[in-house]
Structure 1
Amino acid sequence: MIHTSATCSICGGGSFTSHKVLWPALIAEWQLSETEAAYIDEQQGCACDGCGANLRVVALGDAVRRATGFDKTIRAFGETPEAARLRILDLNGAPAISPALAALPEYVRADYPKVDMLAMPFADGVFDLVIHSDTLEHVPHPVRALQECRRVLAPGGSLCFTVPVVVGRLTRNRDGLPKSYHGDPATCAEDLLVQTEFGADAWRFLFEAGFREIAMHAVKYPAAIAFRAIQISMD
């Protein structure tokens, strides 16, 4: 059990506790160095004692705060009139963030793979904010999924998401490699199958999907990075 210092974007807490979450088989499958395994463990296993958000969710919260222009916590934002007017698509949910937003009148929850991220059942331009967390790596065609996120965003809307990023290498597709799963390795559920290992060039998938303006938000770099992309137009 390791303690770390950070400020939680969801509840404002400053007390975090870290537990190791990676297992030897996954470390071997991803060919992670000791340093890489340590910061990915921190990304996934270091959680706020107040609300349970781990560092990657805290980074996602920072991206959402910047997207909404709200400088207080996500919990506080969820109680504002501005939040009540925001049309939100939450794909798969994120610990602590989803509960803070789920009661809003324009909030929509859609879980992959029940909802196909490659062909989402929503009209063009109907959301102001799209959120997903550590989901894109399980989708067979990440650019197409990001294009779908862009399609359902209204002009001026934002996509905020996380993927596990190994910052010292480039992205690779796992086609032809042994199957690798996130979550409980005993379940081997197909929606936990890793399709893409994202690296330092993860940002390029957003540009390939048609976004023109993107930003990255880091918490204890390189432990946790969130991406934010703005829908400039529908062309």
Structure 2
Amino acid sequence: MSCAVCGGKSFTHNKVLWDGLVAEWDISDSEREYIDRQQGSICNGCGCNIRSIALAKAIMNHWSYHGRFQDFTRKFDNLAVLEINEASGLTKQLASMSNRRLAEYPEIDMQRMPYPDASFDLVVHSDTLEHIQNPVRALSECKRVLRPGGVLAYTIPVIVGRMTRSREGLAKSYHGFPGNGSDDYVVHTEYGADMWQQVIAAGFKSVKIETFDYPAGIAISASTTGPIAAGLVSRLVRAIRN
């Protein structure tokens, strides 16, 4: 297993789920094992976990870049980047880019962002959408602020063997850490194999799924243009920069 961020091959594996959350979500032993890998398997070279590595791959693939993410951020330094909340281990890499903006809750509400239309080449967030009351509206906002040829790339906790469900009407469930009672960590949506539907409902025309150590690492990406047009725009951008 090789890290797409730094190229490292050494990982430390930690268990992160606690029994209370496992019971609330009715998580099986096999599901618990890959979710622990998703969140708790850390590259010893750069500190990125499995979901961050899948996210890095999704971003690079949009621009047909083959290499390490830490090199991608230097080569594509002029991209206008919107990072919504800190994207786990990728934050350090994204923060090195000249035109990266960090939007953090509660100052910035993902459902009503204060940015003009077509402001960013890349919008990225990691394990944030499940905490949003209206995720389709939030994804629509991400689409609105993207430039032509830009891409939205994000992760959510996905249990691949079931369908997405809303937690409306259920007891509150929290991410973060055991015993945390802050409403910032309340989970509104439990995502399953049909997680792509919300992207289409938000107005995107196509969705891509990127994996790393499947099913532990899953990232979702969607462009403001179709796959062929996005590729042409990406090649044009590279040609101009070169």
Distance in 1 (alpha carbons) for counterparts of 2:86 and 2:78: 19
Deviations 1:157-202 (A, max 9, x none): 0000000000111000001111110012333111111000000000
Q: Would you say 1:130 and 2:123 are equivalent positions?
A: yes
Distance in 2 (alpha carbons) for counterparts of 1:175 and 1:212: 28
Determine which of 93, 100, 104 is the counterpart of 1:100.
93
For 1:24-35, list aligned pairs within 5 A.
Answer: 24-35=19-30
Distance in 1 (alpha carbons) for counterparts of 2:203 and 2:20: 36
Q: Would you say 1:164 and 2:157 are equivalent positions?
A: yes
Question: Any gaps of 5 or more consecutive residues in structure 1?
Answer: 1-5
Determine which of 197, 213, 218 is the counterpart of 1:220.
213
Percentage of pairs with the same residue: 47
Equivalent pair of 1:10/1:96 in contact (CA under 8 Å):
no
Pick which of 66-75 and 172-181 moved more: 66-75
Q: TM-score by structure 2 length? A: 0.90
- Amino acid paired to 1:169: R
Determine which of 177, 186, 189 is the counterpart of 1:193.
186
Q: Which runs of 4+ in 1 moved over 6 A?
A: none
Question: Which residue pairs with 1:55 in the alignment?
Answer: 50
Question: Which residue pairs with 1:9 in the alignment?
Answer: 4
Distance in 1 (alpha carbons) for counterparts of 2:177 and 2:26: 19
Residue 226 of structure 1 aligns to a residue whose secondary structure is strand
Q: Cα offset for 1:99? A: 1.1
Distance in 2 (alpha carbons) for counterparts of 1:42 and 1:160: 20
Distance in 2 (alpha carbons) for counterparts of 1:92 and 1:35: 30
Residue 77 of structure 2 aligns to a residue whose secondary structure is helix
Q: Would you say 1:175 and 2:168 are equivalent positions?
A: yes
Determine which of 39, 42, 46 is the counterpart of 2:37.
42
Question: Which residue pairs with 2:230 in the alignment?
Answer: none
Number of aligned pairs?
226
Distance in 1 (alpha carbons) for counterparts of 2:189 and 2:88: 23
Distance in 1 (alpha carbons) for counterparts of 2:93 and 2:123: 15
Q: Cα offset for 1:104? A: 2.0
Question: Which residue pairs with 2:14 in the alignment?
Answer: 19
Q: Cα offset for 1:85? A: 1.6
Q: TM-score by structure 1 length? A: 0.93
Equivalent pair of 2:122/2:150 in contact (CA under 8 Å):
yes
Pick which of 89-98 and 174-183 moved more: 89-98
Distance in 2 (alpha carbons) for counterparts of 1:78 and 1:170: 35
Equivalent pair of 1:52/1:95 in contact (CA under 8 Å):
no
Distance in 2 (alpha carbons) for counterparts of 1:96 and 1:179: 27
Distance in 2 (alpha carbons) for counterparts of 1:185 and 1:36: 18
> Is the helix fraction higher in 1 or 2?
2
Residue 199 of structure 1 aligns to a residue whose secondary structure is coil
Pick which of 92-101 and 39-48 moved more: 92-101
Residue 150 of structure 2 aligns to a residue whose secondary structure is strand
Question: Which residue pairs with 1:3 in the alignment?
Answer: none
Equivalent pair of 2:82/2:102 in contact (CA under 8 Å):
yes
Q: Cα offset for 1:98? A: 1.7
> Is the strand fraction higher in 1 or 2?
1
